[in-house]
Structure 1
Amino acid sequence: MLPDLFAALANPARRTILDELRGGPRTAGDLTRLLKQSRSAASEHLAVLREAGLVREERQGRYRIYHLQAAGLAEVSGWLKHYEHYWTQRLDALADLLDEENLP
């Protein structure tokens, strides 16, 4: 499942869609206009996000409403958590170095 999630998140347009859906559900038309892409390109991005379990589609009459499924991101967050201490150590070392440089 993680490879699908990372593949879905790798594309900037898909991340833009997810960011937009954080504000609430949006129609496919709204998302297409946001991306400034063709309807088929936007549909392809939405399909990838759907297959990765990051969005769900709801039909209301002739409209397709997309909702964020943020639970899928928990798996990515959990995987990244294992590497957090490496970044923390490096940032702490950088902060120490900068503090030393600022001393008289």
Structure 2
Amino acid sequence: MPLPVPASLDTVFAALADPTRRAILTMLLEDDMAVTDVAHPFEMSLAAISKHLTVLAEAGLITQEKRGRVKWCKLEPDALRAASVWMQGFGQFDPVDLDAFERFLAAELPEDSEI
């Protein structure tokens, strides 16, 4: 019988499922960033980036705070700890290439299904 997965892990993995959100996390590895700076490299509206940031914040992967009139984003480095511990339960892993996994799922799943 499989062990239950905490709901918080579902939220983390759902947040990591999107390539834009993974790119944002990679950007935040460097330093805290203003929301407008996070949005700059992406070809989408500030509202769309804000939605991605909300998903990341709800998963606990980032925090946001107002500094004056600017909203800043900060990576929460310990946020992936529970997911890492859960994955280690399956044995030794090579680094996970989530983009490759997403391509695999897209190739294997019917076009009308959602990931």
Greater radius of gyration (CA): 1
The corresponding residue for 1:16 is: 23
Tell me the amino acid that sits aligned with residue 60 of structure 2: G
Question: Residue deviations 1:19-65, cap 9 Å, x none?
Answer: 00000100100111122211111000000000110100110111111
Size of the aligned set, in residue pairs, is 87
- Aligned equivalents of 2:91 and 2:79: distance in 1? 19
- Aligned equivalents of 2:11 and 2:65: distance in 1? 22
The equivalences for 1:29-48 within 5 A come to 29-48=36-55
Gaps of 5+ in 1: 89-104
Tell me the amino acid that sits aligned with residue 50 of structure 1: A
Gaps of 5+ in 2: 1-7, 95-115
1:27 to 34, 37, 54: 34
The equivalences for 1:1-104 within 5 A come to 1-85=8-92, 87=93
> When the two structures are superposed, what TM-score results if normalisation uses the length of structure 2?
0.71
Q: CA deviation at 1:83?
A: 1.7
After TM superposition, where is structure 1 displaced by more than 3 Å over at least 4 residues in a row? none
Higher-helix-fraction structure: 1
SS in 1 for 2:41: helix
Structural RMSD (CA): 1.3
Report percent identity of matched pairs.
36
The corresponding residue for 2:110 is: none
